[in-house]
Structure formats: structure tokens, C-alpha cells
Structure 1
């Protein structure tokens, strides 16, 4: 069984983005500097549907998803082009902190540890963290104690990895580079569960009846939310981003972005 993503409507989320390697450089990340260079460079890890993922459109690789649509809204607010810089998740914050990208949108959870090195926007999305299991194991893996001796996968550098390590300590934690790899390991029976964002899990479950969400949810602080990261103390850019976030939350745009993107994650046998 192989995991892939499929876009069923070319015009819905394709934003004509320029994809770059993570070596892109930025002279400055204030709104004025971004306008001067004419582009907003956004770092992301495109393996986390429905937030950000890759697909082929007209034979070209494109990064799409709810976070990418939000990034386009921010670029539009600034009146510049959007440039998406793709990299592994554990390099996303480093890219922003080092000035190689202006923003990071990668399903990032706002945590005190991360706030020590970057500045976050207001939260634009709040959701739970769950354990995705094979449907055949749902009844036997109903609480955290039942995962004793099991293998639980998580993406490296994520909040889910930290939560699994702390709350499912009796299980063996398997840290993997990409979420797609973790899902494939679960489907293949090489791990027993994947610690994952609830919205992402729902997308996989809706497309594959062999997967299910365990009743054993992971607990998070109420203050933890998904937010946009930028260089430390970049208050001017934070103000612009927060303005856009307030708008998409009020008019329901981000929820629509998620709903549209959720349709495009397909697990093929």
C-alpha cells in the first residue's frame, strides 16, 4: 500500500507558487523589506495534509493546503508574490530564525519552548491530538495503558512527538522524518499507532476504512494552538499576520481551506 496525495480540482488550491530549496535568503523580514523585494518567503514541510502537501498539477509539482492558502492571503495583504520554501519539519523554525524565510506555516503549535527562538502570531487553528491506529486494533487500544510495549510513531520535532514521549511512556517511540512515512509504517503493520493532529487523522480515516482514531486521546494545554512563526520580536510583521488571521477566522475562510484540502488526501492500495 502506498500513500499519495491527489488534487481533484486544478483551480481550487493551486496558487501558482514558486517552489525553492531551503537555501533561499531574505535581506529582511519587516513588511517594508518584504514589499521592497516583492515576495514573501514562507517555509513549510509539505507532508502534512490537509495543512500543506504536494501534488502534481499540469505535470508540475505544487504545494497546496490550508496553510498555503493562508500564506497566499498574507502575501496578498502585503501586495507581494508568494514563494514557498520546502524543507523537513525540523528545519522550518531554523529557517525563519536564521532569516532564510520570512514566515513559517507548517501546522506549527505555539509552545513556550519555541517562543524562546521565534515570535508567533495569534492562533489560527485549535484542535486535539490523537492516536491513529489500524481499525482492527481500535477496540484493543482504547486507553493509553493499552499501548504498553507497542510502537507509536510520530514526526520528528513535532508537538505530537513530545506528547507521545511524555504520555505514552510505556510504548516504544518511533520518530520519523515525514508524516507520510509514519502512516505507511502504520498501514504496513510496522508500528501500532501514529501520534497525529486530529484534523490530519480525520483526513486519513475518511479515505481509508482500515484506519481509525483511538479513544485514547493525547492531552494538550488549552493555550496550545496552531500559529505562524516569524523572526523574534518582528512586531510589525506580526501585526500584519494577525490582521489576516482575524479576518479568515471571522469569515470562516480557514475552515473552508481545511475542508477543501481534506478531500485531496488519498491512501491508495
Structure 2
């Protein structure tokens, strides 16, 4: 065997080995791995009440909310503990792809663009986009937003909805709470976000109100759990949990608990 033939043989052997290795490799966040470590890690952005938010009692800071209860039901179904990692919303999908979290439960809408990077469960909640302004604001219809400064959370469907406003000056922020502070202090004219989240914040910001505009609801809405690509078993388990919660009546109790207070 001459050197050229040997080189070709070794190259083909390496390539074949890589192909076989890839075919036998499971996705990074498999169901087996979660069960083995006894923990499922939920990634979220805990500034999104009533989905997820920080609740401080005494010296204890706990992340609670509708999504946390959904995640706890998933952990219970799997027989593992739930661990929560709080981060900026825009960092959730990269964290999932890197294997730092096992699932995203963060009021995330399963858009076609996101579905290229992650797999989604069935929807577990539906919502709609709204505009929040100060009580004395002249903004009452879609055309009034033209040329205004509108705050949104980066990476959300609210950001995509706001981009459709003519001549909008988009203020992209990492946290929803920052948007409300900017509106309060006159650093923006309006906020675009989900109605359920707006309702939660408006309990604190009494000088603001919600305005419904049909033109804002031009993007996909609804929330689903995201997992790393290829984790069909985990998606199936999550879908089972969603169905079981609804069939048992527990889902309605959670809706009453978090959205009808």
C-alpha cells in the first residue's frame, strides 16, 4: 500500500467513524440524563409575572408563578427535583443549546423561527399583545404610536409586534421591569407586552393603563415549553403533563391562582 492509498484509507476510516459516532449520539439533554442526575433544570426570566417572578418573604427570595407550577408538575411526573435558573430572556435558547438548562418555561411563544433551534411542547396558555401607556397619555389607537418611543423586552414576540409600528423608535430592554420604570420616568411613551404580564405590573403602577389594539396582535401568541432539539421523549412527557393537568381540573385551579387574583 503506497502513501497515497494509505492516506485515503485513513481519511475514509476517520470520516466513517465520525458518522457512526454521530448516529449513535443522543441529544445533549436527554430524558435518561435528567433521570440519572435526579434534577431537571428550568431556565426562565423571572421578571414576567404571573408566569414567573421573585417573591421575597423575610430573607428568603423564591421564584414563583404559573410557569413554576407547570415545571414542578413536570418534575413530579419524572420523579426528579426542579432547579430554576434565572437569566435574561434572550439568553434562554443559547443556554438550552449549550446544555446549561434542560427546558425553558418562560411564557415563550413557539414561533417558526425559534422552532429551528429548539423543540416545543403543546401550548399550555394563550395570551395577546397589548400596549401600556400612562393614564394621561394621548395614545389611544395604533396610529398614535407612529414616531413614538416604545419599550419592549429583547427576544420576545412583543418585540416583533412592536417592530410593525410605523416609524417606531424601539427601545429594547433585557427586563420588563426596566420598561415600566422607563415609562414611569418619561424615557419612553409606551410598552408592548402580553396582557397577562401587563395586568400583573399594573397592580403596582396605578398611573398606567392597558390599551388594546388589533394591529398589535399580528404575531403568534401562546406559551409552550422548549427543550433541546431531538428530545422527543421529553416533549411527550411534557405534553402528557399538560393534558393531565387540564383533565384533572388542576390547570383551572392554577389559572384561578395566578391569573384571576
* TM-score normalised per structure 2: 0.84
CA contact (8 A) 1:29 1:237 kept: no
More helix by share: 2
- How far the C-alpha of 1:249 sits from its partner, in A, is 3.1
CA contact (8 A) 2:43 2:104 kept: yes
Question: Which one has more relative contact order, counting CA pairs under 8 Å at least 6 apart?
Answer: 1
* 1:219 aligned residue: 217
Q: What is the distance in 1 between the residues matched to 2:140 and 2:213?
A: 5
CA contact (8 A) 1:66 1:254 kept: no
Query: Number of residues paired by the alignment?
Result: 234
State which drifts further: 183-192 or 104-113.
183-192
1:240 aligns with 2:237: yes
Q: What is the distance in 1 between the residues matched to 2:240 and 2:218?
A: 26
* 1:22 aligned residue: none
Please state whether the residue corresponding to 1:243 is helix, strand or coil: helix
* TM-score normalised per structure 1: 0.81
CA contact (8 A) 2:107 2:222 kept: no
* 1:68 aligned residue: 68
- How far the C-alpha of 1:214 sits from its partner, in A, is 1.2
* 1:108 aligned residue: 108
CA contact (8 A) 2:157 2:221 kept: no
* 1:193 aligned residue: 190
Deviation sequence 1:108-131 (CA, Å, 0-9, x none): 011000000000000000111111
CA contact (8 A) 2:53 2:63 kept: yes
1:90 aligns with 2:90: yes
* 1:149 aligned residue: 147
- How far the C-alpha of 1:253 sits from its partner, in A, is 3.3
- How far the C-alpha of 1:31 sits from its partner, in A, is 2.2
Deviation sequence 1:170-215 (CA, Å, 0-9, x none): 2211001100000111122211111100111122234443111113
Structure 1 gap ranges (5+): 1-26, 265-269
State which drifts further: 157-166 or 241-250.
241-250
Structure 2 gap ranges (5+): 1-26
- How far the C-alpha of 1:57 sits from its partner, in A, is 3.0
- Indicate the structure (1 or 2) with the bigger Cα radius of gyration: 2
CA contact (8 A) 1:50 1:65 kept: yes
Q: What is the distance in 1 between the residues matched to 2:252 and 2:205?
A: 22
Please state whether the residue corresponding to 1:36 is helix, strand or coil: helix
* 2:134 aligned residue: 134
